[in-house]
Amino acid sequence: MYDFNFAPVFASFDTLLVGAWLTIQMSTVAMVIGLVLSILGAVGKTSGPKPVRIAINVYIEIIRNTPFLVQLYFFFFALPALGVRLGPNQAALLALVVNFGAYGTEIVRAGVASVGRGHIEAAKTVGLNFFQTLRYVILKPAMRAVYPALTSQFIYLMLASSVVSVISATDLAAAGNDLQSQTFASFEVYIVITAMYFVMSLAFSGVFALIGKLAFSYPLNR
């Protein structure tokens, strides 16, 4: 039977915390930028001119039909050939945003499609302009309808970020791999970082539940 020895893992626990913090930062920034990208994508796809709709469709199909790992390699290894040199953490963030944008666009678009035509016609009738209609009549109920799907995609983004260590980004999985290679306490390291990812997922879920409560509980408290 394997003898578990967590001592070397906890002796270097601070390196794991540094990695976890980078994972949290990278995921949060990717979620925020990715959400903006998704909303722009959804609006463009539903009400943009034809060339924009085609461009967005091409983007979605390319991203959703290729592995994230390959996209990551592209941003890190292929972009320098085009003269754009990103550090590993920046390339990882860009890949996460671009990847999330494709899935998020489809999710938000589904929400927009769920808004009844009559609501939009009513908004026009009462004299709301395009942006007012978009914000109050379309996006708000649309986001409420797809919020659960969006948050699970956010959690998936955070978990998927664990592969960015392949381009030498310094996230939690990379810190775990480094520690594993120094201590050879592989089971212990993986158990600990699994628990850390689990806790981080729960924490993100909690924050999302709170945001959902504050932003989408109307009209109950209005």
Please identify, using beta-carbon distances, which residue of 56 and 189 lies nearer to other proteins: 189
Q: How far is the CB of 131 from other proteins (least distance, A)?
A: 38
The answer to whether the beta carbons of residues 174 and 146 sit under 8 Å apart is no
> At how many degrees (to 10) do helices 172-183 and 13-47 cross?
150
Tell me the C-alpha distance between 170 and 158, whole Å.
14
Please identify, using beta-carbon distances, which residue of 143 and 179 lies nearer to other proteins: 179
Q: How far is the CB of 181 from other proteins (least distance, A)?
A: 3
Q: Which of residues 27-56 bind other proteins (CB under 8 A)?
A: none
Please report whether residue 80 would count as binding other proteins according to CB under 8 A.
yes
Please report whether residue 76 would count as binding other proteins according to CB under 8 A.
yes
Tell me the C-alpha distance between 132 and 113, whole Å.
17
* Exposure b/e, 151-187, CB count within 10 A at least 16 = b: bebbbebbbbbebbbebebbbbbbbbbbbbeebebee
Please report whether residue 77 would count as binding other proteins according to CB under 8 A.
yes
Please identify, using beta-carbon distances, which residue of 1 and 220 lies nearer to other proteins: 1
Q: Which residue in the set 108, 146, 160, 174 belongs to the binding site for other proteins (CB under 8 A)? A: 174
Q: Which residue in the set 19, 41, 88, 141 belongs to the binding site for other proteins (CB under 8 A)? A: 88
Tell me the C-alpha distance between 179 and 142, whole Å.
44
Output the CA–CA distances (angstroms, integers) from residue 67 to 51, 63, 74, 218, in the order listed: 26, 8, 11, 39
Q: Which residue in the set 168, 203, 215, 217 belongs to the binding site for other proteins (CB under 8 A)? A: 168
Q: Which residue in the set 123, 167, 192, 200 belongs to the binding site for other proteins (CB under 8 A)? A: 167
Please report whether residue 217 would count as binding other proteins according to CB under 8 A.
no
**Could you tell me the two tokens for 30?**
């990717």
Conformation bin of residue 49: beta by default, left when phi > 0, alpha when psi is -120 to 50: beta
Binding stretches for other proteins (CB under 8 A)? 1-2, 76-78, 80-81, 85, 88, 165-168, 174, 177-178, 180-182, 184, 186-187, 191, 198
